[in-house]
Amino acid sequence: MRIIDSHTEGEPTRLILDGGPPLGGGSLHARRECLVAQFDDVRWAVAHEGLVGALLCAPQEPASTAGVIFFNEAGPLGMCGHATMGLAVSLYHLGHIDLGRHKFETPVGSVTADLKTAHDVAVENVESYRHRAGVTVEVDGMGPIVGDVAWGGNWFFLARRSPVALEPENIGALTQAAAQVRQALAAQGITGADGAEIDHVEFFGPPQGPPENPGANARNFVLCPDGAYDRSPCGTGTSAKLACLAADGKLAPGEGWVQESITGSRFEARYVLSDAGAVRPTIIGSAYVTGEAQDLMGELARASAAS
């Protein structure tokens, strides 16, 4: 199995270039279900230790550059903004694509990555929307937490306040608090559309960037389904945030939003309205290749035997 690793604003991606499991044809959604049902050991092996995996697939549409299935240690993901940036930068690094716009098919719809330079990417995400506003969830030891339920390619609960200050030294406490919120959402039957599990929790607060780099609109902390926090500002989470801001009339189409992560990295974001009036976010960030491997499964097997 041949892989290439990258990071996007601090968050890692592991792209399977070839040698992945045979998933057959059909939609990306169907192939994702095949990956989970028949090749879950491959998914787990690739996406351990907080990595997001991305399996490169043949697209269904001739105009698409490729299909991609995203996953982490907990299971499959719908979309992943930072990993799409890592995908585009990695393919360019290998000489597989040129600068410019590239369409990628995902299990939840097609997205476009506009590769501006060898590292800078603007991702036009799937249509995003707020499903429920002002939802209150009762959390043991924390009391009522109010937030919005929104879709940005994955399902999010976006809490309107953070129970702990959004500072790196509080990452452990933030992780525990977000996990408690997620458990409470499930226990109280609070879901996304059609009963979908809300598997991402996002806290917000004021930005804390250095004086030499001002201008962020908010800082966030995002807990992902595998229990790891997002070191980037989270592309799908930022998309969900834009959908909520648009619904509240707090951000106009084309107006910029700068989202700062718990680590201080940033995504620039904006949205347009589709012909149907839906929010279509664009998330802008930078990614860098960090390593390559020609025989990942063999290396993992040898490491396991040696231990």
Rounded to whole angstroms, the Cα distance separating 107 from 4 reads 21
* pLDDT for the residue 270: 98
Q: Which residues pair with 268 in a beta bridge?
A: 258, 284
Nearest residue to 157 (alpha-carbon basis) of 200, 195, 205: 200
* pLDDT for the residue 213: 67
pLDDT at 298 over 80: no
pLDDT at 3 over 80: yes
Q: Is 80 a catalytic residue?
A: yes
How much is the mean pLDDT over the chain? 93
Among candidate residues 57, 224, 234, 244, the one labeled active-site is: 234
Share of the chain above pLDDT 90, in %: 83
pLDDT digits 0-9 by tens, 188-230: 999 999 999 999 999 999 998 666 567 899 999 999 999 999 9
* pLDDT for the residue 70: 96
pLDDT at 304 over 60: no
Share of the chain above pLDDT 70, in %: 93
pLDDT digits 0-9 by tens, 94-148: 999 999 999 999 999 999 999 999 999 999 999 999 999 999 999 999 999 999 9
To the question of domain 129-265 being in CATH 3.10.310.10, the answer is: yes
Q: Which alpha helices (DSSP H) does the chain contain, by range?
A: 28-38, 40-46, 81-93, 171-187, 235-247, 296-306
* pLDDT for the residue 252: 98
pLDDT digits 0-9 by tens, 218-261: 999 999 999 999 999 999 999 999 999 999 999 999 999 999 99
* pLDDT for the residue 307: 57
Neighbours of 251 (CB within 10 A): 21
Q: Is 234 a catalytic residue?
A: yes
| Same fold for the pair 2-126+289-306 and 129-265 | yes
> pLDDT-derived band of residue 296, with 50, 70 and 90 as boundaries?
low
To the question of domain 2-126+289-306 being in CATH 3.40.50.300, the answer is: no
Domain ranges of the chain: 2-126+289-306, 129-265
3-class SS at 133?
Answer: strand
pTM: 0.93
Among candidate residues 57, 80, 224, 244, the one labeled active-site is: 80
pLDDT digits 0-9 by tens, 151-199: 999 999 999 999 999 999 999 999 999 999 999 999 999 999 999 999 9
- Three-state SS string over 242-287 comes to HHHHHHCCCCCCCCCEEEECCCCCEEEEEEEECCCCCEEEEEEEEE
* pLDDT for the residue 40: 87
* pLDDT for the residue 50: 72
* pLDDT for the residue 303: 55
Averaged pLDDT for residues 279-298: 88
The secondary structure of residue 228, as a DSSP letter, is P
